[in-house]
Amino acid sequence: MDEKFKKLEEYLINLKKVLIAFSGGVDSTFLLKVCLDVLGKENVLAVTARSSTYPSRELEEAKELAKSLGANHEIIVSEELEVPGFSENPPERCYYCKKELFGKLVKIARERGFNFVLDGSNADDAGDFRPGMKAKDELGVKSPLKEAGLTKAEIRALSQKMGLPTWNKPSFACLASRFPYGERITGEKLDRVGRAEEILRGLGFSQYRVRNHADLARIEVLPEEIERFFERSLREKVVAEFKKLGFVYVSLDLTGYRTGSMNEGLKEEEKALWKS
């Protein structure tokens, strides 16, 4: 892990001046901190996108993190629902999203004299179906953590060692990932899923997803937290609150939380088309 960290520092030194796609998550916060340490504040700009696919809470956390690190930080608007092809929610949905977002970041970098745009992709991201990687590669966006071979677990360990508050922050993906491919995504649906997940957060669940299947909510929590739903009072509270949001049915996924569960129904040939 220490060797990978050294490789990361050496990689960043050669980039000299960078713009970072900053979400405030584990990976991008770690990347921002290392860039600041290696390149200096004047050579680093963190940019966060305000979007209906990300809860306002995540945006506020990103602001506070950037401020605490002493980074130059800017907010831009990236409205995926206006991007042709995104709302229809095809398997390559993330490609359209990342193409639009990274396109804006590359434009800002060129106008402001930054040599490269960086994202927080890590070594683990190579194993999942991620059409957004194709857009990133087309636009020349670099992924230093991935290049250094750093895994999510290693990034968490290094973040803890560096005193970053995000070292144990739950993983988060944009709210669009809560919908099965082919189900149209709207602002109202995104808001409903976001509110449902806030209910689970308020009940103390550490990692969760609410997958939206038309009028059915499929809840994913960590396997070790599934047994909490055996408590009748908690179960009834969740059902009542979810129904207030408009869900007709509320279900619990017995497999538990896992990333990319909406990709499980995709055929291998569909995935192969969008491998970076």
| Whether residue 181 sits in one domain with residue 154 | no
| Whether residue 8 sits in one domain with residue 99 | yes
Which of 168, 186, 213 is the last residue in one of the domains? Answer: 168
User: CA–CA separation, 123 vs 274, rounded Å?
Assistant: 18
| Whether residue 151 sits in one domain with residue 247 | no
| Whether residue 154 sits in one domain with residue 134 | yes
Poorest-pLDDT segment among 129-143, 165-179, 246-260:
129-143
Which CATH number does the domain housing residue 230 bear?
3.30.70
| Whether residue 185 sits in one domain with residue 161 | no
| pLDDT tens-digit map of 88-124 | 999 888 898 889 999 999 999 999 999 999 999 999 8
Q: Is residue 272 part of a domain?
A: no
Mean pLDDT of the chain: 92
Active site residue 94: no
| pLDDT tens-digit map of 22-81 | 999 999 999 999 999 999 999 999 999 999 899 999 999 999 999 999 999 999 998 888
| Whether residue 163 sits in one domain with residue 134 | yes
Query: What's the token pair of residue 71?
Result: 């980074």
How many domains does one find in the chain? 2
Neighbouring residues of 52: CB distance < 8 A, sequence distance ≥ 6: 79, 80, 81, 175, 187, 190, 191
| Whether residue 162 sits in one domain with residue 80 | yes
- Looking at residue 266, what is its pLDDT? 61
Which CATH number does the domain housing residue 154 bear?
3.40.50.620
Residue 270 confidence (pLDDT) above 80: no
| Whether residue 222 sits in one domain with residue 161 | no
Residue 274 confidence (pLDDT) above 60: no
- Looking at residue 232, what is its pLDDT? 97
Q: Is residue 269 part of a domain?
A: no
| Whether residue 147 sits in one domain with residue 17 | yes
Which of 114, 146, 168 is the last residue in one of the domains? Answer: 168
- Looking at residue 262, what is its pLDDT? 74
- Looking at residue 271, what is its pLDDT? 47
Q: Is residue 107 part of a domain?
A: yes
Domain that holds residue 98: 2-168
Q: Is residue 267 part of a domain?
A: no
Q: Is residue 78 part of a domain?
A: yes
Residue 267 confidence (pLDDT) above 70: no
Which of 168, 193, 214 is the last residue in one of the domains? Answer: 168
| Whether residue 23 sits in one domain with residue 105 | yes
- Looking at residue 74, what is its pLDDT? 97
| Whether residue 118 sits in one domain with residue 189 | no
